[in-house]
Structure 1
Amino acid sequence: MRKSKAEAAETRKRIVAAAAAEFRKNGIVATGLSDLMKAAGLTHGGFYKHFESKDQLIAEACAEAGRALAEKVAANASKGSAVASYLSARHRDNPADGCPLAALGSELARCDERTREVATAGFERLVGILAGQFAKLSPEEARRRALVSASTMIGALAMARMVNDTNLSAEILQEAEASISRL
Protein backbone atom coordinates (compact mmCIF):
# COMPACT_ATOMS: atom_id res chain seq x y z
CA MET A 1 0.00 0.00 0.00
CA ARG A 2 1.38 3.38 -1.02
CA LYS A 3 1.81 6.14 1.49
CA SER A 4 0.15 9.50 1.05
CA LYS A 5 2.34 12.47 0.18
CA ALA A 6 1.95 13.75 3.75
CA GLU A 7 3.05 10.39 5.18
CA ALA A 8 6.00 10.24 2.80
CA ALA A 9 7.01 13.79 3.82
CA GLU A 10 6.83 12.82 7.50
CA THR A 11 8.92 9.72 6.85
CA ARG A 12 11.49 11.81 5.01
CA LYS A 13 11.64 14.25 7.95
CA ARG A 14 12.15 11.33 10.32
CA ILE A 15 15.02 10.02 8.19
CA VAL A 16 16.67 13.46 8.04
CA ALA A 17 16.35 13.94 11.81
CA ALA A 18 17.75 10.47 12.51
CA ALA A 19 20.61 11.06 10.06
CA ALA A 20 21.44 14.42 11.62
CA ALA A 21 21.80 12.75 15.02
CA GLU A 22 23.63 9.66 13.77
CA PHE A 23 26.13 11.66 11.71
CA ARG A 24 26.94 13.91 14.68
CA LYS A 25 27.20 10.93 17.00
CA ASN A 26 29.23 8.55 14.83
CA GLY A 27 30.56 10.60 11.92
CA ILE A 28 29.48 10.66 8.30
CA VAL A 29 31.86 8.02 6.97
CA ALA A 30 31.23 5.64 9.87
CA THR A 31 27.44 5.79 9.43
CA GLY A 32 26.00 3.52 6.78
CA LEU A 33 22.61 3.82 5.14
CA SER A 34 21.32 0.76 6.97
CA ASP A 35 22.33 2.40 10.29
CA LEU A 36 20.47 5.56 9.34
CA MET A 37 17.33 3.80 8.28
CA LYS A 38 17.36 1.61 11.39
CA ALA A 39 17.70 4.74 13.56
CA ALA A 40 14.65 6.14 11.76
CA GLY A 41 12.75 2.90 12.41
CA LEU A 42 12.76 1.89 8.74
CA THR A 43 14.36 -0.71 6.51
CA HIS A 44 17.35 -0.03 4.29
CA GLY A 45 15.35 -0.71 1.14
CA GLY A 46 13.21 2.40 1.46
CA PHE A 47 16.11 4.86 1.38
CA TYR A 48 16.07 5.51 -2.37
CA LYS A 49 12.34 6.22 -2.34
CA HIS A 50 13.22 9.40 -0.43
CA PHE A 51 16.75 10.36 -1.54
CA GLU A 52 18.83 10.16 -4.69
CA SER A 53 22.06 9.56 -2.76
CA LYS A 54 23.70 9.58 0.64
CA ASP A 55 25.22 12.95 -0.31
CA GLN A 56 21.75 14.43 -0.68
CA LEU A 57 20.83 13.14 2.78
CA ILE A 58 24.07 14.48 4.27
CA ALA A 59 23.28 17.97 2.98
CA GLU A 60 19.72 17.86 4.29
CA ALA A 61 20.80 16.42 7.65
CA CYS A 62 23.47 19.10 7.98
CA ALA A 63 20.88 21.78 7.22
CA GLU A 64 18.51 20.34 9.83
CA ALA A 65 21.26 20.13 12.46
CA GLY A 66 22.32 23.70 11.66
CA ARG A 67 18.75 24.94 11.97
CA ALA A 68 18.36 23.24 15.36
CA LEU A 69 21.68 24.67 16.55
CA ALA A 70 20.70 28.19 15.48
CA GLU A 71 17.43 27.88 17.43
CA LYS A 72 19.28 26.76 20.58
CA VAL A 73 21.95 29.43 20.32
CA ALA A 74 19.39 32.16 19.62
CA ALA A 75 17.27 31.08 22.59
CA ASN A 76 20.32 31.06 24.85
CA ALA A 77 21.54 34.37 23.42
CA SER A 78 18.28 36.01 24.47
CA LYS A 79 19.03 34.76 28.01
CA GLY A 80 22.64 35.97 27.80
CA SER A 81 24.08 32.46 27.99
CA ALA A 82 24.79 31.45 24.38
CA VAL A 83 28.54 30.97 24.84
CA ALA A 84 28.24 29.28 28.24
CA SER A 85 25.61 26.86 26.96
CA TYR A 86 27.60 26.04 23.82
CA LEU A 87 30.82 25.52 25.80
CA SER A 88 29.19 23.32 28.43
CA ALA A 89 29.95 19.78 29.52
CA ARG A 90 26.38 18.87 28.54
CA HIS A 91 26.97 19.99 24.94
CA ARG A 92 30.39 18.33 24.88
CA ASP A 93 28.95 15.03 26.09
CA ASN A 94 25.99 14.94 23.68
CA PRO A 95 27.29 15.34 20.13
CA ALA A 96 24.17 13.76 18.60
CA ASP A 97 22.14 16.77 19.79
CA GLY A 98 24.81 19.40 19.32
CA CYS A 99 26.69 21.48 16.83
CA PRO A 100 27.31 19.74 13.51
CA LEU A 101 30.28 22.01 12.82
CA ALA A 102 32.16 20.86 15.93
CA ALA A 103 31.12 17.23 15.52
CA LEU A 104 31.76 16.92 11.79
CA GLY A 105 33.99 19.81 10.74
CA SER A 106 36.81 17.79 9.21
CA GLU A 107 34.35 15.51 7.40
CA LEU A 108 32.22 18.40 6.17
CA ALA A 109 35.34 19.92 4.59
CA ARG A 110 35.54 16.82 2.37
CA CYS A 111 31.86 16.70 1.40
CA ASP A 112 30.31 17.76 -1.87
CA GLU A 113 29.71 21.40 -2.73
CA ARG A 114 26.03 21.33 -1.69
CA THR A 115 26.86 20.10 1.81
CA ARG A 116 29.65 22.64 2.15
CA GLU A 117 27.19 25.39 1.12
CA VAL A 118 24.81 24.21 3.84
CA ALA A 119 27.63 24.10 6.42
CA THR A 120 28.73 27.59 5.39
CA ALA A 121 25.18 28.89 5.77
CA GLY A 122 24.99 27.31 9.23
CA PHE A 123 28.26 28.94 10.24
CA GLU A 124 27.06 32.31 8.92
CA ARG A 125 23.81 31.93 10.88
CA LEU A 126 25.80 31.25 14.06
CA VAL A 127 28.02 34.26 13.40
CA GLY A 128 24.95 36.43 12.84
CA ILE A 129 23.39 35.37 16.13
CA LEU A 130 26.62 36.00 18.00
CA ALA A 131 27.13 39.38 16.28
CA GLY A 132 23.80 40.42 17.77
CA GLN A 133 25.44 40.09 21.19
CA PHE A 134 27.78 42.95 20.24
CA ALA A 135 25.00 45.39 19.31
CA LYS A 136 26.83 48.37 20.82
CA LEU A 137 29.66 47.96 18.31
CA SER A 138 29.78 48.84 14.65
CA PRO A 139 28.46 46.06 12.38
CA GLU A 140 31.98 45.39 11.09
CA GLU A 141 33.46 45.07 14.61
CA ALA A 142 30.51 42.98 15.80
CA ARG A 143 31.02 40.58 12.87
CA ARG A 144 34.76 40.39 13.54
CA ARG A 145 34.18 39.48 17.17
CA ALA A 146 31.44 37.03 16.23
CA LEU A 147 33.74 35.28 13.74
CA VAL A 148 36.41 34.91 16.41
CA SER A 149 33.83 33.75 18.97
CA ALA A 150 32.22 31.19 16.67
CA SER A 151 35.58 29.82 15.56
CA THR A 152 36.80 29.61 19.15
CA MET A 153 33.61 27.91 20.29
CA ILE A 154 33.64 25.30 17.53
CA GLY A 155 37.34 24.55 17.90
CA ALA A 156 37.21 24.39 21.69
CA LEU A 157 34.23 22.03 21.66
CA ALA A 158 35.93 19.76 19.12
CA MET A 159 39.14 19.69 21.18
CA ALA A 160 37.28 19.15 24.46
CA ARG A 161 35.66 16.08 22.90
CA MET A 162 38.93 14.83 21.46
CA VAL A 163 41.15 14.82 24.54
CA ASN A 164 40.97 11.87 26.92
CA ASP A 165 41.71 13.85 30.08
CA THR A 166 38.48 15.10 31.68
CA ASN A 167 40.24 17.88 33.57
CA LEU A 168 41.90 19.13 30.39
CA SER A 169 38.58 18.91 28.56
CA ALA A 170 36.87 21.06 31.19
CA GLU A 171 39.80 23.48 31.16
CA ILE A 172 39.55 23.89 27.38
CA LEU A 173 35.86 24.81 27.66
CA GLN A 174 36.42 27.19 30.58
CA GLU A 175 39.35 28.99 28.98
CA ALA A 176 37.57 29.35 25.65
CA GLU A 177 34.57 30.88 27.40
CA ALA A 178 36.83 33.22 29.38
CA SER A 179 38.64 34.25 26.22
CA ILE A 180 35.41 35.05 24.42
CA SER A 181 34.10 37.06 27.35
CA ARG A 182 37.17 39.33 27.05
CA LEU A 183 36.39 40.17 23.40
Structure 2
Amino acid sequence: MAEHHNAIISAGAKLFREHGFDGVGVIEVAKEAGLTHGAFYGHFRSKADLAAESCRRAFEEQHGVWPAGMTLSKFVSMYLSGEHRDRPAEGCPVPCFAESIGRQEAIVRREYAKGFENYVRQISAQFEMAGQTKVRARKDALLLISALVGGISAARSIVWSDRQMSNGILAETKKSVMQQFGLR
Protein backbone atom coordinates (compact mmCIF):
# COMPACT_ATOMS: atom_id res chain seq x y z
CA MET A 1 0.00 0.00 0.00
CA ALA A 2 2.79 2.44 0.96
CA GLU A 3 4.69 1.53 -2.20
CA HIS A 4 1.67 2.37 -4.38
CA HIS A 5 1.11 5.62 -2.50
CA ASN A 6 4.74 6.60 -3.05
CA ALA A 7 4.55 5.63 -6.74
CA ILE A 8 1.51 7.87 -7.25
CA ILE A 9 3.23 10.84 -5.58
CA SER A 10 6.39 10.32 -7.64
CA ALA A 11 4.37 10.07 -10.84
CA GLY A 12 2.47 13.22 -9.92
CA ALA A 13 5.68 15.13 -9.13
CA LYS A 14 7.06 14.19 -12.54
CA LEU A 15 3.93 14.75 -14.63
CA PHE A 16 2.84 17.98 -12.93
CA ARG A 17 6.31 19.47 -13.52
CA GLU A 18 6.22 18.39 -17.15
CA HIS A 19 2.62 19.33 -18.03
CA GLY A 20 1.42 21.60 -15.22
CA PHE A 21 -1.26 20.97 -12.63
CA ASP A 22 -4.05 21.57 -15.11
CA GLY A 23 -2.42 19.57 -17.91
CA VAL A 24 -2.56 16.20 -16.16
CA GLY A 25 -5.47 14.23 -14.82
CA VAL A 26 -5.78 11.51 -12.24
CA ILE A 27 -5.96 8.85 -14.96
CA GLU A 28 -2.56 9.84 -16.39
CA VAL A 29 -0.94 9.92 -12.97
CA ALA A 30 -2.33 6.50 -12.04
CA LYS A 31 -1.18 5.07 -15.36
CA GLU A 32 2.33 6.53 -14.91
CA ALA A 33 2.42 4.91 -11.44
CA GLY A 34 1.38 1.57 -12.94
CA LEU A 35 -2.01 1.57 -11.24
CA THR A 36 -5.62 1.84 -12.27
CA HIS A 37 -7.67 5.01 -12.01
CA GLY A 38 -9.81 3.40 -9.29
CA ALA A 39 -6.74 2.59 -7.19
CA PHE A 40 -5.94 6.30 -7.00
CA TYR A 41 -8.94 7.04 -4.79
CA GLY A 42 -7.79 4.48 -2.26
CA HIS A 43 -4.84 6.77 -1.62
CA PHE A 44 -6.12 10.33 -2.17
CA ARG A 45 -9.45 12.03 -1.71
CA SER A 46 -8.91 14.42 -4.59
CA LYS A 47 -6.56 15.59 -7.29
CA ALA A 48 -5.74 18.60 -5.09
CA ASP A 49 -4.50 16.29 -2.32
CA LEU A 50 -2.26 14.54 -4.84
CA ALA A 51 -1.09 17.85 -6.29
CA ALA A 52 -0.10 19.10 -2.82
CA GLU A 53 1.88 15.95 -2.02
CA SER A 54 3.44 15.93 -5.49
CA CYS A 55 4.42 19.59 -5.14
CA ARG A 56 6.10 18.82 -1.81
CA ARG A 57 7.91 15.84 -3.35
CA ALA A 58 9.09 17.90 -6.34
CA PHE A 59 10.65 20.49 -4.02
CA GLU A 60 12.21 17.77 -1.86
CA GLU A 61 13.74 16.10 -4.92
CA GLN A 62 15.25 19.31 -6.22
CA HIS A 63 15.78 21.53 -3.20
CA GLY A 64 15.46 19.28 -0.16
CA VAL A 65 19.06 19.53 1.01
CA TRP A 66 21.86 21.62 -0.46
CA PRO A 67 24.39 19.04 -1.72
CA ALA A 68 27.81 18.98 -0.07
CA GLY A 69 30.37 20.63 -2.31
CA MET A 70 27.74 22.44 -4.38
CA THR A 71 28.83 26.02 -4.90
CA LEU A 72 26.54 28.78 -6.15
CA SER A 73 28.58 28.84 -9.38
CA LYS A 74 27.99 25.13 -9.98
CA PHE A 75 24.33 25.52 -9.08
CA VAL A 76 23.85 28.38 -11.55
CA SER A 77 25.63 26.40 -14.29
CA MET A 78 23.47 23.33 -13.69
CA TYR A 79 20.27 25.36 -13.46
CA LEU A 80 20.90 27.29 -16.68
CA SER A 81 21.89 24.21 -18.67
CA GLY A 82 20.37 22.63 -21.74
CA GLU A 83 19.78 19.47 -19.72
CA HIS A 84 17.67 21.30 -17.12
CA ARG A 85 15.82 23.16 -19.87
CA ASP A 86 15.03 19.97 -21.75
CA ARG A 87 14.01 17.89 -18.73
CA PRO A 88 11.42 19.85 -16.76
CA ALA A 89 9.90 16.66 -15.34
CA GLU A 90 13.09 16.18 -13.33
CA GLY A 91 13.93 19.81 -12.69
CA CYS A 92 13.13 22.71 -10.43
CA PRO A 93 9.42 22.97 -9.66
CA VAL A 94 9.41 26.78 -9.46
CA PRO A 95 9.31 27.52 -13.21
CA CYS A 96 7.04 24.53 -13.79
CA PHE A 97 4.43 25.54 -11.22
CA ALA A 98 4.75 29.34 -11.04
CA GLU A 99 2.34 30.13 -13.85
CA SER A 100 -0.53 28.04 -12.53
CA ILE A 101 -0.06 27.92 -8.75
CA GLY A 102 -2.44 30.83 -8.17
CA ARG A 103 -5.30 28.81 -9.68
CA GLN A 104 -4.73 25.82 -7.41
CA GLU A 105 -6.51 25.00 -4.18
CA ALA A 106 -5.10 26.38 -0.93
CA ILE A 107 -3.55 23.05 0.08
CA VAL A 108 -1.40 23.08 -3.07
CA ARG A 109 -0.48 26.76 -2.73
CA ARG A 110 0.66 26.15 0.87
CA GLU A 111 2.98 23.31 -0.16
CA TYR A 112 4.38 25.45 -2.97
CA ALA A 113 5.01 28.34 -0.57
CA LYS A 114 6.77 26.03 1.92
CA GLY A 115 8.97 24.56 -0.81
CA PHE A 116 9.77 27.98 -2.23
CA GLU A 117 10.68 29.36 1.21
CA ASN A 118 13.01 26.41 1.85
CA TYR A 119 14.65 27.08 -1.51
CA VAL A 120 15.16 30.76 -0.58
CA ARG A 121 16.67 29.72 2.78
CA GLN A 122 19.15 27.39 1.08
CA ILE A 123 20.33 30.02 -1.38
CA SER A 124 20.43 32.65 1.40
CA ALA A 125 22.63 30.34 3.45
CA GLN A 126 25.12 30.17 0.59
CA PHE A 127 25.32 33.97 0.44
CA GLU A 128 25.68 34.15 4.23
CA MET A 129 28.57 31.68 4.10
CA ALA A 130 30.21 34.11 1.67
CA GLY A 131 29.98 36.83 4.34
CA GLN A 132 26.70 38.58 3.60
CA THR A 133 24.29 39.70 6.32
CA LYS A 134 21.03 37.76 6.68
CA VAL A 135 19.02 40.62 5.17
CA ARG A 136 21.34 41.07 2.16
CA ALA A 137 21.62 37.31 1.65
CA ARG A 138 17.84 36.95 1.48
CA LYS A 139 17.52 39.83 -0.99
CA ASP A 140 20.22 38.34 -3.22
CA ALA A 141 18.66 34.87 -2.96
CA LEU A 142 15.32 36.24 -4.15
CA LEU A 143 17.00 38.11 -7.00
CA LEU A 144 19.05 35.06 -8.01
CA ILE A 145 16.04 32.74 -7.98
CA SER A 146 14.05 35.23 -10.04
CA ALA A 147 16.83 35.50 -12.63
CA LEU A 148 17.28 31.73 -12.84
CA VAL A 149 13.56 31.02 -13.13
CA GLY A 150 13.12 33.76 -15.71
CA GLY A 151 16.06 32.53 -17.75
CA ILE A 152 15.03 28.87 -17.77
CA SER A 153 11.40 29.77 -18.48
CA ALA A 154 12.33 31.99 -21.42
CA ALA A 155 14.70 29.34 -22.79
CA ARG A 156 12.01 26.66 -22.52
CA SER A 157 9.43 28.86 -24.21
CA ILE A 158 11.44 29.21 -27.42
CA VAL A 159 13.45 25.98 -27.60
CA TRP A 160 11.08 24.17 -29.99
CA SER A 161 11.05 26.93 -32.56
CA ASP A 162 14.54 28.39 -32.14
CA ARG A 163 17.05 26.23 -30.27
CA GLN A 164 19.88 28.65 -31.01
CA MET A 165 18.02 31.53 -29.37
CA SER A 166 17.14 29.29 -26.43
CA ASN A 167 20.81 28.39 -25.97
CA GLY A 168 21.66 32.09 -26.17
CA ILE A 169 19.16 32.90 -23.44
CA LEU A 170 20.75 30.31 -21.16
CA ALA A 171 24.29 31.53 -21.92
CA GLU A 172 23.51 35.24 -21.51
CA THR A 173 21.50 34.71 -18.33
CA LYS A 174 24.32 32.63 -16.87
CA LYS A 175 26.92 35.24 -17.83
CA SER A 176 24.86 38.06 -16.34
CA VAL A 177 24.05 36.19 -13.11
CA MET A 178 27.67 35.13 -12.59
CA GLN A 179 28.82 38.72 -13.10
CA GLN A 180 26.04 40.22 -10.93
CA PHE A 181 26.89 38.00 -7.96
CA GLY A 182 30.66 37.78 -8.46
CA LEU A 183 30.57 34.06 -9.17
CA ARG A 184 33.21 32.16 -11.15
Question: Are residue 125 (structure 1) and residue 118 (structure 2) matched?
Answer: yes
- The one-character-per-residue Cα deviations of 1:41-63 (angstroms, maximum 9, x if unpaired) are 00011111100100000010000
Q: Secondary structure at the match of 1:49?
A: coil
Post-superposition offset of 1:106: 0.9
Post-superposition offset of 1:77: 6.3
Q: In 1, Cα distance between the equivalents of 2:119 and 2:60?
A: 10
Q: In 1, Cα distance between the equivalents of 2:76 and 2:15?
A: 25
Q: In 2, Cα distance between the equivalents of 1:61 and 1:115?
A: 9
1:92-103 to 2 correspondence within 5 Å? Answer: 92-103=85-96
Q: In 2, Cα distance between the equivalents of 1:149 and 1:46?
A: 41
1:81-92 to 2 correspondence within 5 Å? Answer: 81-92=74-85
The normalised TM-score by structure 1 is: 0.90
Q: In 2, Cα distance between the equivalents of 1:161 and 1:132?
A: 28
Q: In 1, Cα distance between the equivalents of 2:16 and 2:127?
A: 32
1:102-181 to 2 correspondence within 5 Å? Answer: 102-135=95-128, 136-163=131-158, 164-181=161-178
Contact 1:77/1:129 (CA < 8 Å) preserved in 2?
no
Q: In 1, Cα distance between the equivalents of 2:34 and 2:133?
A: 49
1:40-59 to 2 correspondence within 5 Å? Answer: 40-59=33-52
1:54-69 to 2 correspondence within 5 Å? Answer: 54-69=47-62
Match of 1:78 among 53, 70, 74: 70
For the aligned residue pairs, the C-alpha RMSD in angstroms reads: 1.5
1:27-42 to 2 correspondence within 5 Å? Answer: 27-42=20-35
Q: Secondary structure at the match of 1:75?
A: coil
Larger deviation, residues 150-159 vs 57-66: 150-159
Task: Specify whether residues 77 and 56 from structure 1 end up closer, same or farther in structure 2 by C-alpha distance, changes over 3 A only.
Answer: farther
Gaps of 5+ in 2: none
Post-superposition offset of 1:104: 2.2
Q: In 1, Cα distance between the equivalents of 2:172 and 2:53?
A: 33
The normalised TM-score by structure 2 is: 0.89
- The one-character-per-residue Cα deviations of 1:105-142 (angstroms, maximum 9, x if unpaired) are 11112111111111111111111111122121111001
Larger deviation, residues 60-69 vs 101-110: 101-110
